[in-house]
Chain A
Amino acid sequence: MKPRLATVWLGGCSGCHMSFLDLDEHLLTLAEQVDIVFSPLMDVKHYPGGVDICLVEGAACNEDHVRMLHDIRSRTRVLVSFGDCAVTGNVPALRNQLGAANTEAVLQCAYIDHAQDRPTLPHMDGIVPRLLDRVVPVHELVPVEYFLPGCPPPAARIRLMLDHLLGAGPRPSGPDLKFG
């Protein structure tokens, strides 16, 4: 049976997934090597069980992200922090510098101060997830096997990591660990 690959998009800009798509024709080879079972690029609602490799883009910014990460961890063999937001918190974590009231401050700025029509804070219990008081990298919440830095990681670096995980090639090192 082919290894089961998933990709997940948490608090990030989707740039890491765009970079994943930059694998171009290698995506055809990858499709032969693995079964892609869950991804924002697919129409699948629920994270399945028995996943071998999961690339997690983005930091944990809200309660949904925390819940998803625990589900993902319990159903995945190898977790990869995919890109700077997942590895360090990066841009989403900039709000942490604002201190204790950072969630109120960013919501006020985005939805009230700069709103052109009907300034309202988004709220709907059970639908709109509450922001965490502090944005955290993935490994602060669940154990992570591999880290792939980069904002975004270039396609060649993603391929290097996937090849390594699929048993062909060395683990990324040196310049392939560059943040930013």
Chain B
Amino acid sequence: MGAKTLMIDGRQISAAEGVSVLAAAGEAGIKIPTLCHLDGVYDPGACRLCLVEIGGFTKLVPACTTHVAEGMEVLTNTGRLRQYRLMILELLFAERNHVCATCVSNGHCELQTLACESGMDHVRYEYRFPHWDIDITHERFGMDHNRCVLCTRCVRVCWHVEGAGTKNVAGRGRHSRIITDLNLPWGESDSCTSCGKCVQACPTGALFEKGATAGEMEHDRARLGFIVNAREKQQWIPPE
């Protein structure tokens, strides 16, 4: 595969053909915010936080699903992008019930961290305060829909790393939600292998290990990298 040369935020960068703009920027130390991207599984372009400006295009495109091209000029941090990212974060907070103070992932949450980094000191939109259930029927894990941002990382690791196909998305619009099998309580699932990769993949406190209390749930992302690496390269290198 050939190399492509492109400009990201005024810096000349060389990246392998077929690589995403998100990956190329990351490789060059340019951080683009994202909630749905997860190393090792495909990118659905779901969260829209990694939107970037590309020279010659009027539309914003997600960096995770856009491949690098020769001579491409990418801007990752303009005023327009910062404004949209802030808006997306505020809408995520307004859509469900994200109560950081009582959350298992307080202090270890990607949504919370992105909000700080984006300067979100309050939400301009009216909170919806929807009613969502919590599924704690599984022996070891719990799912709190109040904290879900529908990034679908859990669905993708379940299908494409574990190969179990337990987690799915059901419903449309604001009724969209993560379900187990054909909408069964998690504890009654036949297909779930209880591997816990969905829990480790979750960016927020939506999926958690039972017994964790406020601030105690730290997702071990390295465990996923270990499994993906082992599958793809047959190298069983334990995470540090």
A in complex with B: yes
The 15 listed contacts between A and B (C-beta, < 8 Å) are A81-B122, A91-B102, A97-B97, A97-B131, A97-B132, A98-B131, A144-B122, A148-B121, A151-B100, A151-B101, A173-B119, A175-B116, A177-B119, A177-B120, A178-B112
- Partner-contacting stretch, out of A25-33, A82-90, A124-132: A82-90
Question: Secondary structure at chain A's binding surface: helix, strand, loop or mixed?
Answer: mixed
Bound Cα distance A98, B129 (Å): 9
- Is B240 in contact with chain A by the CB < 8 A criterion? no
CB-nearest residue of chain A relative to B99? A90
- CA of A174 to CA of B130, assembled, Å: 29
Give the tally of cross-chain contacts (CB within 8 A). 72
Number of residues on chain B facing chain A (CB within 8 A) = 26
Which residue of B103, B120, B129, B130 is within 8 Å of A180 (Cβ)? B103
B90-104 vs A: 1/0 string, CB under 8 Å? Answer: 000100010111110
The distance from the CB of A136 to the nearest CB of chain B, in whole angstroms, is 8
Distance of A17 Cα from B106 Cα, bound (Å): 21
Complex Cα distance, B115 from A139, in Å, reads 18
**Residues of chain B lying within 8 A (CB to CB) of residue A91:** 99, 101-102
Residues of A within 8 A of B146 (CB): 97
- Chain A CB within 10 Å, residue with most, of B120, B127, B131, B215: B127
* Bound CA span A140–B115, Å: 20
B232 contacts chain A at the CB level, 8 A cutoff:
no
Give A contacts to B, CB under 8 Å. 81, 84, 87-91, 93-94, 96-99, 134, 137, 139-140, 144, 146-149, 151, 172-175, 177-180
- Report chain B residues within 8 Å CB of A174: 116-117, 119
B121 adjacent to A149 (CB under 8 Å): yes
Give Cα A148 to B123, complex, Å.
Answer: 12
Q: Is B187 an interface residue (CB 8 A)?
A: no
Partner among B102, B126, B131 whose Cβ is within 8 Å of the Cβ of A99: B131
The reply to whether the CB of B165 lies closer than 8 angstroms to some CB of chain A is no
Given contacts A88-B99, A99-B131, 18 further A-B contacts (CB under 8 A): A81-B122, A87-B121, A87-B122, A88-B123, A90-B99, A94-B97, A94-B99, A97-B130, A97-B146, A137-B122, A140-B126, A148-B121, A172-B121, A174-B116, A178-B100, A178-B112, A179-B101, A180-B99
**Contact call B127/A177, Cβ cutoff below 8 A:** no
Shortest Cβ gap from A89 to chain B (Å): 6
Which residues of the partner chain B approach A173 to less than 8 Å between Cβ atoms? 119
* A148-B122 Cα distance, complex, nearest whole Å: 9
For A173, give the chain B residue with the smallest CB separation: B119
Minimum CB–CB distance from B196 to chain A (whole Å) comes to 24
A180 to B112, CA, bound (A): 9
- Whether the pair B100, A84 counts as a contact (CB closer than 8 A) is yes
B225 CB within 8 Å of chain A: no
Contact between A180 and B107, CB atoms less than 8 A apart: yes
B126 contact set on A, CB distance < 8 A = 140
Residues of B within 8 A of A177 (CB): 115-116, 119-121
Interface centre among A94, A137, A175, A177 (most CB of B within 10 A): A177
- For B97, B107, B132, the residue with the greatest tally of chain A CB atoms inside 10 Å of its CB is B97
The CA-CA distance from A179 to B119 in the complex, in Å, is: 12
Q: Which residues of B have CB within 8 Å of A180?
A: 99-101, 103, 106-107, 112, 215
**Cβ contacts under 8 Å, B131 to chain A:** 97-99
Task: Find residues 114-169 in chain B having any chain A CB closer than 8 Å to their own CB.
Answer: 115-117, 119-123, 126-127, 129-132, 146
CB <8 Å contact, A178 and B130: no
Among A81, A96, A98: residue with most chain B CB under 10 A: A96
- Residues of chain B within 8 A (CB-CB) of A178 are 100, 107, 112, 116
Which A residue's beta carbon lies closest to that of B128?
A: A96
Interface residues of B in 200-222 (CB under 8 A from A): 215
